[in-house]
A = this chain, B = another copy of it.
Amino acid sequence: MVAVKKIKKGRPPKVEKKSKNSRINSMTKTTKSIMKKNETNIKEKKTSSRAKVSPEKSIGKIKFEHPPIYFFGGGKADGDGGMRDLLGGKGAGLAEMTRTGIPVPPGFTITTEVCKVYYQNNLEVPPEVDREMEKYIAKMESILGTKFGDSENPLLVSVRSGAKFSMPGMMDTVLNLGLNKDTLEGLIKKTENERFVWDNYRRFVQMFGNVVLGIDKEKFEEVIEAKKKERKIKQDSSLQVEDLSDIVKKYKAIIKKKTGELFPDDPWMQLRMARDAVFRSWNNPRAISYRKLNNIATNLGTAVNIQAMVFGNMGNSSGTGVGFTRNPSTGVKEFYGEYLLNAQGEDVVAGIRTPQPISQLGHEMPEVYKQLREITTRLEKHNRDVQDFEFTIQEGKLYMLQTRTGKRTVQAALKIAVDMVKEKLITKEEALMRFDPAQLDQLLHPRLDPKADIEIIAKGLPASPGAASGAIFFTADAAVKAAKGGDSVILVRQETNPDDIEGMHAAAGILTSRGGMTSHAAVVARGMGKCCIAGCEAARVNEAKKQLQIGKLIIKEKEVITLNGSTGEVMIGAVATIEPELSGEFAEFMSWADEIKKLKVRANADTPRDAIQARKFGAEGIGLCRTEHMFFAEDRLSIVQDMILADSIEERQHALDKLLPFQRHDFKALFEVMDGLPVTIRTLDPPLHEFLPDKKAIEEEITKLDKTDEHYDNQLAKKRKILQRIDELKEINPMLGHRGCRLGIVFPEITEMQVRAIIEAAYQVMKDKKRVVPEIMIPLVGHINEFSNQKEVVKRIAEEVLLKHKVKDFEYLIGTMIEIPRAVLIADEIAGEADFFSFGTNDLTQMTMGFSRDDAGKFLRYYVEKNILPKDPFVSIDQDGVGKLIEMGVKKGRSVKSNLKIGICGEHGGDPDSIEFCHRMGLDYVSCSPFRVPIARLSAAQATIKEKKKTAERDK
């Protein structure tokens, strides 16, 4: 990026000093003569057609690749709609409208290139550009018959920024430029509204003082306040002409005092100064942070648009309005908007007068209305999207001031996209590309009724979208009990852990006071499609007292709150919600995505309930069934604990024998739901201590044991044993501890039970003539011997079961998670043995980057804020780091087995950028939580379309 001079607040650099460009002065003769020549070129070429403009213009050492100014007006324009890089979005739009014959007030655009030069050139615009400006002002004058700075028929202009990407409200604008004592008179004559003109003048001086001269708004506001006090009035609108005139005088005094210079009366000076101020505003703090937030490059620069002012307040044949070509809330195809006669743009927005619905204009000014409809229809067709437009009617003549793609609700966006495809206005590909996949989320969850009154009491992280109301409960048990009783329940916890799973299932929503976007609560809730707000730090959760305190507000158990998981807002009481609609336009739209996408989309689903949800959302298989989630149900957990407490293989086997029918039952139900679609089942993964209760709880239970009970000794012994095992299993870094295949290797009998359950379940389903394709997945493999060890167990048990039932030709796969960096390094070796890979990008990210998902929240937030990391790598794959490993893994794996099936599972499987990455890597599928399946389907389609475009461009 260019070096930027620091601009002091409060006092602007003196931009009006005589042109003494030191670079130009120090130039050699040769360079000077080249420059001269080029200057001549510019002038010559400017009058000729745009196509002939020389591609390189040099001013001093600074080379212009393009002419510095592009004119539009009188039905012609130097630029066009494709030149957003050079003219900014607004400039390109104005040029395009002018070209297509739409009435636009004439004006010109100073290019973004000039902005870059301005920054390279010590914050000065080369004087050649000033001379060019004079020429184009003259052209405007000749079109309009007005004159810049003229006291009879003055030309007033607006000076607006216009960057390549819209940054609404971020940069500066000066309106009514050209006003001074002389032109004031002219304008009063034109508008016949002295007070209005004085008020404009007051605003112009204030705007100029603030934007261009850098004086605090406060200073000006104080003057108005003092005047209102003096005049004992409350509204600005009550100020009279003499008041305004006095205020302007005082404003000018402030300016003189602050800058040491008089307020510039010369319109040309005003123009140059405003132009430079707009250039400077590219680097104001608001703009910088907006760009950061929206991933806009810092070196694009802004263009400046100088355009003739038109006035909608020149009597009843004048007016102004705004509108949309389709309804932006519903998407219905109807002309939508409002207007006011004899008014300026501000008045429509300010709400002092009530605007009329736009259809009324058809009655009041039928010709203008017809023209407006024609124009906007043309604009929609031309731009192939809903248009959001502004217009002004000056003395019966319609001017379009702006048109741009209209913002709309997601619901509307969907309808518009589907309608436009049917109208053959856009292709299916275009419809798909127009949709930000993340927005789909809003369509899949219940949402708050926008008409409802809400009272927000706290805000946390929007951890899992959707909305829910319910009575609050503080333990999983209480939540389950209440839900069984039919209540809608909100589970409130400091943070959740696997023990809470059943409670989370039972709840309509989850609120935690700790943890980030990837905390346990957030991840599990997203998986379940439950609304969740995590890390709501204002909420003090007191489980013992069964109360939730927010500030001074205390909410007791069973009282009702509402969560908006899409915004992170917590509300008191019940708020009405609207259920999602997955058929109709939604289904049609998604079917187009499926036609196009190459990646398969599977779901992470642990239970038949999840699987049903997943299919509803269009999942093409299960990419990850976490068998341990079957272990947490009340009737199973104690058996699992017996298994963990076992002192011998025999005891452990005994417990496993009791677990077998449960797992078999679940797998059977899962296979039945999936009905022949592939189901990837991961063997036990989490460290065993996750299945044991909290240490403190056990310690308390021990103190509460009844010593007179005849079973006291037995009970005490068992609880002491649990305590002892908790201590034995305690790990400093459980994430890197005894889990994954390391469990199955040390306790092969666990893997044996799980495989037996899978194959027996598959056999039972097959008996009913249904197809089953189980894919057994070994987690956390880092060394080939780990995989071989578990593969042997799987094959041995599977063959044993199949032999017993005399089943032949049964297909099942044995594959592995690639989630440890080392597995990537030996992916070729593993591919020799494995039928498939599934990248576990959560753990792979944790280990590759050295971030604990549970702990990194604090500094990761700081990292993203401070731009040390571009994004949270747990939300979107870190393509430069983790992504390189994935690429390596795919290459190595396929080098040995070219048709190796490869997918990813984990949170990234539902992230659009990550999905595009997976598509580029040539993966076979992504797997994500059921509620993200539609997002993944759309993202996968978009990835295919983008690739096609790239290929087409390359082939050109």
A-side interface residues toward B, CB under 8 Å?
731-738, 740, 742, 745-746, 780, 782-783, 785-786, 789, 819-822, 825-826, 843, 846-852, 854-856, 858-859, 862-863, 866-869, 878, 880-882, 884-885
Cβ A745 vs Cβ B825 within 8 A: no
Choice from B736, B849, B885 contacting A782 with Cβ under 8 Å: B849
Choice from B786, B826, B854, B880 contacting A732 with Cβ under 8 Å: B854
Cβ B737 vs Cβ A855 within 8 A: yes
Cross-chain pairs A/B with CB under 8 angstroms, 8 sampled? A731-B854, A733-B735, A733-B854, A735-B735, A736-B852, A820-B850, A825-B848, A825-B880
Can you name the residue of chain B whose Cβ is closest to the Cβ of A851? B736
Q: Taking the nearest CB of chain B, how far is it from the CB of A890, in angstroms? A: 15
Query: Which of A737, A789, A882: most chain B CB closer than 10 A?
Result: A737
* Contacts known (A731-B852, A734-B732); A869 close to B821, Cβ less than 8 A: no
Cβ B736 vs Cβ A735 within 8 A: yes
Contacts of A868 in B (CB 8 A): 745, 783, 785-786, 789
Contacts of A783 in B (CB 8 A): 868-869, 881
Query: Which of A858, A862, A882: most chain B CB closer than 10 A?
Result: A858
Choice from B785, B859, B882 contacting A738 with Cβ under 8 Å: B859
Q: Taking the nearest CB of chain B, how far is it from the CB of A668, in angstroms? A: 32
Cβ A878 vs Cβ B822 within 8 A: yes
Give Cα distance in the complex from A746 to B859, angstroms.
7
Can you name the residue of chain B whose Cβ is closest to the Cβ of A829? B880
Give Cα distance in the complex from A740 to B843, angstroms.
20
Choice from B733, B843, B881 contacting A734 with Cβ under 8 Å: B733
Contacts of A859 in B (CB 8 A): 738, 742, 745-746
Give Cα distance in the complex from A895 to B349, angstroms.
61
Contacts of A737 in B (CB 8 A): 852, 855-856
Q: Taking the nearest CB of chain B, how far is it from the CB of A469, in angstroms? A: 32
Q: Taking the nearest CB of chain B, how far is it from the CB of A799, in angstroms? A: 19
Cβ B733 vs Cβ A881 within 8 A: no
Q: Taking the nearest CB of chain B, how far is it from the CB of A752, in angstroms? A: 17
Contacts of A878 in B (CB 8 A): 822
Q: Taking the nearest CB of chain B, how far is it from the CB of A569, in angstroms? A: 25
Q: Taking the nearest CB of chain B, how far is it from the CB of A726, in angstroms? A: 14
Choice from B733, B789, B825 contacting A733 with Cβ under 8 Å: B733
Contacts of A869 in B (CB 8 A): 783, 785
Give Cα distance in the complex from A286 to B615, angstroms.
57
Give Cα distance in the complex from A734 to B854, angstroms.
10
* Contacts known (A746-B859, A822-B881, A826-B881); A846 close to B786, Cβ less than 8 A: no
Give Cα distance in the complex from A820 to B847, angstroms.
8
Give Cα distance in the complex from A789 to B733, angstroms.
28
Cβ B738 vs Cβ A735 within 8 A: no
Give Cα distance in the complex from A862 to B786, angstroms.
12
* Contacts known (A733-B734, A735-B736, A867-B785); A822 close to B848, Cβ less than 8 A: yes
Query: Which of A742, A789, A856: most chain B CB closer than 10 A?
Result: A742
Give Cα distance in the complex from A820 to B843, angstroms.
14
Give Cα distance in the complex from A737 to B732, angstroms.
12
Contacts of A825 in B (CB 8 A): 848, 880-881, 884-885
Question: Which 4 residue pairs of A and B lie closest in terms of their CB atoms, listed nearest first?
Answer: A736-B852, A733-B852, A822-B881, A732-B854
Query: Which of A780, A856, A881: most chain B CB closer than 10 A?
Result: A881
Q: Taking the nearest CB of chain B, how far is it from the CB of A288, in angstroms? A: 17
Give Cα distance in the complex from A579 to B731, angstroms.
39
Give Cα distance in the complex from A851 to B854, angstroms.
17
Give Cα distance in the complex from A863 to B143, angstroms.
86
Contacts of A736 in B (CB 8 A): 733, 735-736, 846-847, 850-852, 855-856
Give Cα distance in the complex from A731 to B856, angstroms.
9
Cβ B843 vs Cβ A850 within 8 A: yes
Q: Taking the nearest CB of chain B, how far is it from the CB of A831, in angstroms? A: 15
Give Cα distance in the complex from A746 to B850, angstroms.
17
Give Cα distance in the complex from A782 to B866, angstroms.
16
Contacts of A819 in B (CB 8 A): 850
Give Cα distance in the complex from A862 to B785, angstroms.
13
Contacts of A856 in B (CB 8 A): 736-738
Give Cα distance in the complex from A789 to B859, angstroms.
14
Give Cα distance in the complex from A737 to B780, angstroms.
20
Choice from B732, B820, B852 contacting A849 with Cβ under 8 Å: B820
Contacts of A742 in B (CB 8 A): 859
Give Cα distance in the complex from A822 to B733, angstroms.
20
Give Cα distance in the complex from A438 to B746, angstroms.
31
Q: Taking the nearest CB of chain B, how far is it from the CB of A865, in angstroms? A: 11
Give Cα distance in the complex from A347 to B789, angstroms.
50
Give Cα distance in the complex from A856 to B821, angstroms.
17
Contacts of A745 in B (CB 8 A): 859, 862-863, 866, 868
Give Cα distance in the complex from A780 to B849, angstroms.
9
Query: Which of A731, A868, A878, A880: most chain B CB closer than 10 A?
Result: A868
Cβ A821 vs Cβ B885 within 8 A: yes
Cβ A850 vs Cβ B852 within 8 A: no
Give Cα distance in the complex from A821 to B888, angstroms.
13
Contacts of A738 in B (CB 8 A): 855-856, 858-859
Cβ B822 vs Cβ A855 within 8 A: no
Q: Taking the nearest CB of chain B, how far is it from the CB of A823, in angstroms? A: 9
Q: Taking the nearest CB of chain B, how far is it from the CB of A131, in angstroms? A: 42
Choice from B780, B880, B881 contacting A850 with Cβ under 8 Å: B780
Choice from B732, B881, B884 contacting A735 with Cβ under 8 Å: B732
Query: Which of A850, A856, A868, A878: most chain B CB closer than 10 A?
Result: A850
Contacts of A852 in B (CB 8 A): 731-737
* Contacts known (A855-B733, A856-B736); A782 close to B822, Cβ less than 8 A: no
* Contacts known (A746-B862, A785-B867); A822 close to B843, Cβ less than 8 A: no
Query: Which of A740, A820, A866: most chain B CB closer than 10 A?
Result: A820
Contacts of A826 in B (CB 8 A): 880-881
Contacts of A822 in B (CB 8 A): 848-850, 878, 881-882
Can you name the residue of chain B whose Cβ is closest to the Cβ of A846? B736
Can you name the residue of chain B whose Cβ is closest to the Cβ of A819? B850
Q: Taking the nearest CB of chain B, how far is it from the CB of A765, in angstroms? A: 34
Contacts of A855 in B (CB 8 A): 731-734, 736-738
Q: Taking the nearest CB of chain B, how far is it from the CB of A295, in angstroms? A: 16
Q: Other CB < 8 Å A-B pairs besides A789-B868, A825-B848, A825-B880, 9 of them?
A: A735-B736, A736-B856, A782-B849, A782-B881, A783-B869, A819-B850, A822-B848, A822-B881, A847-B848
Can you name the residue of chain B whose Cβ is closest to the Cβ of A862? B746
Q: Taking the nearest CB of chain B, how far is it from the CB of A864, in angstroms? A: 11
Q: Taking the nearest CB of chain B, how far is it from the CB of A775, in angstroms? A: 22
Contacts of A854 in B (CB 8 A): 731-733
Give Cα distance in the complex from A95 to B704, angstroms.
79
Contacts of A847 in B (CB 8 A): 736, 821, 847-848, 850
Contacts of A740 in B (CB 8 A): 850
Contacts of A851 in B (CB 8 A): 736
Contacts of A866 in B (CB 8 A): 745
Query: Which of A731, A819, A843, A855: most chain B CB closer than 10 A?
Result: A855
Contacts of A735 in B (CB 8 A): 732-733, 735-736, 852
Q: Taking the nearest CB of chain B, how far is it from the CB of A863, in angstroms? A: 8
Give Cα distance in the complex from A826 to B789, angstroms.
34
Q: Taking the nearest CB of chain B, how far is it from the CB of A920, in angstroms? A: 17
Can you name the residue of chain B whose Cβ is closest to the Cβ of A881? B822
Give Cα distance in the complex from A852 to B687, angstroms.
13
Give Cα distance in the complex from A137 to B819, angstroms.
62
Contacts of A867 in B (CB 8 A): 785
Contacts of A843 in B (CB 8 A): 850
Can you name the residue of chain B whose Cβ is closest to the Cβ of A742? B859
Query: Which of A732, A734, A740: most chain B CB closer than 10 A?
Result: A732
Can you name the residue of chain B whose Cβ is closest to the Cβ of A786? B868
Can you name the residue of chain B whose Cβ is closest to the Cβ of A854? B732
Give Cα distance in the complex from A848 to B848, angstroms.
7
Contacts of A850 in B (CB 8 A): 736, 740, 780, 782, 819-822, 843, 847
Q: Taking the nearest CB of chain B, how far is it from the CB of A947, in angstroms? A: 24
Give Cα distance in the complex from A731 to B859, angstroms.
12
Q: Taking the nearest CB of chain B, how far is it from the CB of A833, in angstroms? A: 14
